[in-house]
């Protein structure tokens, strides 16, 4: 077979700030998936894109090429469907209560999720702390659970956008992850190929987000909304704050426990607020703008769906969750009002305690993590507990404490604490 293009010419075009043609993009993505374009050549192209960017038509065609590299599903045959994607944060367990909450209104929610890598936690890791629960489902199993239960949280199959899977692994080792055209096309190629009727994006900004800069996070949100709209997918994004960990727990089993509290009508106010906000967006996009979301949390409907979801994937919903063998408490050394808790520092501490992984193949300690006893704006006394560290390996406490040394800041005397809004903006 004679290839219609040469990889070097495609790389040179983008290196020199040129615009790639539709045919060039279609070919290079397909050729890379087939192994015709080598890793080092795609690395060079990814870096050229990182440095010189892409136009909106280029990003749209790149995304479409990623979709065309694999299969497409269509969950809309089951009726109204909606999905959510978060760009990743610290203590971000929102998917767990959100899926059953939306499904309680008869909207199917196919939540294809991933595992944690680096400082951000993975939804699948959280769910796997439930004894017996399994993440890998066939397409037929997904459809069956969606039809019978209404919601499913599982791993994306290998057939969806295989070009993205290959390219993401390459970007992770070539310092080209933090690139808006490549992030947007990576996320949206899988979400569009998934075949849901509506998509709500939770794009995070702040210390614990990949996009720490609000302007860049806003640009990413707008780019993804445009990609979804161009593909005929109802898409809306909420720009949300990730300067402080969400809720009071960071770590797999700890976050599952907190999510169940939310489904029982309790839980931390910020987790409830964001869950409700995203649920309203998903339900509105699915044709139910007046759904009483709070009522479904308080009357047990969402909890009923959660229990059926977990059971359908082999989980023992009544089994005790893993508990850490060792804990250590960090206390306040003086009176004061907490001004901030650095989300990134808490995330790194949880990772060092065993809650995260450095490589995809690494195991996680489901019981490990950080528990918060106070949030920004709270007044605390000297000696009052601020954080509890959880781990199955006490040798890990030292390095976790190191990163937490400056994680909590206090307001100056006479300074008025002003809370940053959780939902910063809505982009549609």
- Extents of the domains making up the chain: 7-53, 75-312, 326-410
pLDDT of 94 above 80: yes
**Which two three-digit tokens encode residue 214?**
């609000």
Same fold, 75-312 and 326-410: no
pLDDT of 200 above 80: yes
Q: How does pLDDT run across 379-407, given as a tens digit for each residue?
A: 999 999 999 999 999 999 999 999 999 99
Residue whose structure tokens are 């615009």: 19
Domain 326-410: give its CATH architecture: Alpha-Beta Complex (3.90)
Measured between alpha carbons, how far is 253 from 235 in angstroms, rounded to an integer?
31
pLDDT score at 2 = 86
Judged by DSSP in three states, 344 sits in: helix
Angle between helices 95-103 and 301-312 (to 10 degrees): 110
What is the side-by-side strand order in the sheet with 385-391? 249-250, 369-372, 385-391, 326-331
pLDDT of 89 above 80: yes
For residues 363-382, average pLDDT: 95
Catalytic residue annotation: 85, 164, 171, 186, 190
Query: What class has domain 75-312?
Result: alpha beta
pTM of the model: 0.93
CATH 1.20.970.10 applies to domain 7-53: yes
């Amino acid at each position: 077979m004679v290839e219609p293009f040469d990889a070097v010419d495609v790389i040179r075009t983008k290196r020199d700030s040129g615009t790639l043609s539709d045919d060039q993009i279609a070919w290079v993505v397909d050729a890379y998936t087939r192994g015709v374009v080598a890793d080092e050549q795609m690395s060079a192209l990814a870096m050229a894109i990182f440095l010189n960017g892409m136009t909106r038509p280029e990003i749209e065609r790149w995304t479409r090429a990623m979709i065309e590299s694999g299969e497409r599903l269509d969950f809309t045959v089951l009726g109204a469907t909606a999905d959510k994607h978060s760009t990743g944060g610290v203590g971000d367990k929102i998917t767990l209560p959100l899926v059953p909450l939306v499904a309680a209104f008869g909207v199917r929610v196919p939540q294809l999720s991933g595992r944690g890598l680096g400082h951000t936690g993975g939804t699948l890791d959280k769910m796997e702390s439930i004894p017996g629960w399994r993440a890998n489902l066939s397409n037929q199993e997904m459809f069956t659970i969606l039809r019978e239960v209404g919601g499913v949280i599982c791993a994306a199959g290998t057939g969806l956008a295989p070009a993205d899977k290959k390219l993401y692994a390459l970007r992770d080792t070539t310092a080209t992850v933090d690139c808006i055209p490549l992030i947007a096309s990576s996320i949206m190629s899988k979400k569009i190929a998934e075949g849901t009727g509506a998509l709500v994006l939770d794009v995070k900004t702040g210390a614990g987000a990949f996009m720490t800069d609000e302007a860049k996070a806003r640009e990413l949100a707008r780019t993804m909304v445009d990609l979804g709209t161009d593909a005929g997918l109802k898409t809306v994004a909420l720009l949300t704050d990730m300067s402080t960990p969400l809720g009071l727990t960071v770590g797999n089993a700890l976050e599952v426990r907190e999510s169940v509290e939310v489904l029982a009508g309790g839980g931390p106010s910020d987790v409830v607020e964001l869950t409700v906000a995203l649920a309203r967006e998903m339900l509105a996009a699915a044709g139910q703008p007046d759904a009483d979301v709070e009522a479904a949390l308080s009357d047990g409907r969402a909890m009923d769906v959660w229990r059926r979801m977990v059971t359908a994937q082999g989980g023992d919903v009544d089994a005790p969750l893993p508990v850490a063998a060792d804990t250590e408490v960090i206390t306040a050394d003086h009176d004061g009002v907490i001004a901030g808790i650095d989300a990134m520092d808490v995330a790194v501490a949880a990772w060092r305690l065993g809650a995260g992984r450095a490589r995809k193949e690494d195991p996680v300690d489901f019981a490990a993590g950080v528990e918060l006893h106070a949030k920004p704006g709270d007044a605390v006394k000297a000696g009052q507990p601020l954080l509890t560290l959880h781990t199955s390996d006490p040798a890990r406490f030292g390095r976790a404490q190191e990163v937490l040394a400056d994680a909590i800041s206090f307001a100056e005397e006479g300074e008025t604490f002003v809370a940053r809004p959780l939902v910063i903006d809505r982009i549609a």
